[in-house]
Amino acid sequence: MIVSHKHKFIFLRTEKTAGSSLQLALAGLCGPDDMVTGTAPYKHQNQWPRWTTMMPAGMAPMRRRFPRHFGFHQHASISQVRDYFGDDVYRSYFKFTIERNPWDRQLSLYCHRKRKLNETAPIKFERDMRSPVYRGLHYTRLRNWEIYSIDDQVAVDYVIRFEDLDAGVRHVFKELGVSGDIELPRQRTRFRENKATYRDAYTPELRDMIGGWYRREIETFGYEF
């Protein structure tokens, strides 16, 4: 998440949408008084008591729930930003985020986690998505909708579509008055070994289950399987 007073924008970093890459590009535009959450080299150091910048990763849920006390989580919500910075900033700054086809996004999350945990067992996507044990052990249902909505309504000015990422980023930079070529650093793109279409990983039953999880995104942005 970035709140830039220098350029008057709020970037909400959703999950599994190339948000980390865009944040790195945007962070280079930020001034010393801007807030940039996440990891070095663009982590904010002057907004919270020093001890909050050294919290272990396991404390991340505390950032989600109590940003005033523990610092903003990297996936902070627009409602948290509004509550902290006030209505004037919320209403006057250009607010934007990224969204992605939920079925594609879910498979991306799963493959990312498998590789991150160094699991060598064959990927069993449907089995694990249906398993209460797996869902209990792992963060499985993404909360992107909660990041950029208030009262169940989209509360940002622009949503970049992951499927047309470069065009969306160009639009954002134009809104910000930034000129020049834009090249996003490609991070975290190695986790899905098989680049075949996400549809190949789904049965009709699993398609419907994941579709039910993310009904709001699907209806709002017109996503189709």
The rounded mean pLDDT for the chain is 84
pLDDT at 138: 82
**Angstrom distance (rounded) from CA 33 to CA 30:** 8
Q: Which residues are within 8 A (CB) of 225 and not within 5 positions of it... i.e. 6 or more apart? A: 103, 199, 202, 207, 211
Contact in structure between 108 and 191 (CB atoms under 8 Å): yes
CA distance 148 to 58: 24
Domain 2-221 has CATH 3.30.420: no
**For the packed helices 102-116 and 204-213, what is the interaxial angle rounded to 10 degrees?**
100
Full strand arrangement of the beta sheet holding 9-11: 35-36, 2-4, 9-11, 94-99, 158-161
Judge whether residue 202 has pLDDT over 70: yes
Distance CA 97, CA 145 (A): 11
Q: Is it the case that residue 39 has pLDDT exceeding 60?
A: no
Query: Distance (Å, rounded) from C-alpha 118 to C-alpha 96?
Result: 34
Cβ 196 vs Cβ 111: under 8 Å:
no
Q: For residue 72, what pLDDT band results from cuts at 50, 70 and 90?
A: confident
Tell me which residue has tokens 């982590």: 43
Give the model's confidence band at 16: pLDDT under 50 very low, under 70 low, under 90 confident, else very high.
very high
Structure tokens at 193: 């070994």
Q: Give yes or no for a contact between 16 and 108, defined as CB atoms under 8 angstroms apart.
A: yes
